[in-house]
């Protein structure tokens, strides 16, 4: 996702007096004002950080919650290793690859993979979204059931192309990309999030460069999530694809994933 656009005005709000110091710390870190007129607000409340559009017709806030809500329902009832994303990254009996989610967003796909036993590194370059994700991971770490899952997730904030190009240490086995394109998901949740995020992020016009950086770094495969009928990203033809009702996973295999003695 792209960097913060200066045309969108946003301020930092504390929703309770005892959270004022923590809100001030977030404001300083993100370069946000704490007063004045604004179109949006990053708010710190009892349930953590949330991004909200201000105004009478605005939708509700968006926050990252790995413990309850839609993400929890998917963890419990989403189909486990039979999910298409699991098949796309190569999850199978005895195989749980190390995954780099280079376009993390709100972390839902990364959390699904971590819940299946993968170690997942997340990269998010949009500062506000990275803040929401960092806060959600910190709160989830305190939960008895979800804490062990997010312990397998690590967040990096920055430009994914640069971070992949300068990668130090063992490369990820699988790199997962979900560039910011207008997905065809019509759910109310996605509509609300897109309305909030559009002033701050745009389509990933550098997707071809992102794909090339991923292909240069991944040791075993690259997976790109696309709208079902969208063209492939310029820069290489996938080996095969998995297609669902609204989305498609283009898979660029490099070599066979090894067993890791996982269930």
157 and 127 in contact (C-beta within 8 Å)?
A: yes
Is 108 assigned to a binding site?
A: yes
Using DSSP's 3-state secondary structure scheme, residue 11 falls into strand
Assess contact for 232 and 197: CB atoms under 8 A. no
Would you tell me how many other CB atoms lie within 10 Å of the CB of residue 70?
12
Q: Known binder of ligand: residue 109?
A: yes
Does the annotation flag 139 for ligand binding?
no
- Do residues 218 and 263 make contact, with C-beta atoms less than 8 angstroms apart? no
Structure-block tokens of residue 217: 């770094």
Would the annotation count 198 as a binding residue? no
37 is in an annotated binding site: no
Q: In angstroms, rounded to a whole number, what is the distance separating the alpha carbons of residues 163 and 114? A: 21
Q: Which is nearest to 197 in space by CA: 130, 246, 140?
A: 130
Annotated binding site: 108-109, 124-125, 178
Annotated binding site for S-adenosyl-L-methionine: 108-109, 124-125, 178
């Amino acid at each position: 996702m792209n960097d913060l656009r200066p045309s969108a005005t946003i301020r930092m709000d504390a929703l309770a007096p005892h959270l004022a110091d923590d809100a001030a710390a977030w404001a300083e870190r993100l370069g946000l004002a704490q007063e004045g007129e604004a179109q949006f607000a990053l708010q710190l409340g009892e349930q953590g950080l949330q991004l909200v559009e201000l105004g009478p017709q605005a939708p509700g806030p968006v926050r990252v919650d790995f413990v309850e809500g839609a993400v929890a329902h998917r963890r419990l009832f989403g189909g486990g290793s039979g999910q298409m994303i699991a098949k796309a990254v190569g999850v199978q009996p005895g195989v749980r690859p190390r995954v780099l989610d280079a376009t993390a967003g709100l972390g839902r796909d990364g959390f699904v993979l971590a819940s299946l036993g993968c170690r997942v590194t997340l990269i998010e370059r949009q500062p506000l979204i990275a803040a929401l994700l960092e806060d959600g991971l910190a709160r989830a770490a305190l939960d008895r059931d979800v804490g062990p899952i997010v312990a397998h997730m690590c967040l990096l904030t920055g430009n994914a192309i640069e971070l992949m190009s300068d990668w130090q240490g063992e490369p990820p086995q699988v790199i997962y990309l979900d560039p910011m394109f207008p997905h065809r998901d019509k759910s109310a949740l996605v509509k609300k999030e897109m309305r909030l995020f559009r002033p701050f992020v745009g389509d990933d016009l550098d997707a071809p460069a992102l794909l090339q950086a991923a292909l240069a770094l991944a040791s075993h495969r690259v997976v790109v999530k696309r709208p079902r009928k969208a063209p492939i990203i310029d820069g290489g033809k996938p080996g095969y694809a998995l297609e669902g009702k609204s989305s498609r996973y283009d898979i660029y295999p490099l070599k066979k994933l090894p067993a890791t003695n996982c269930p």
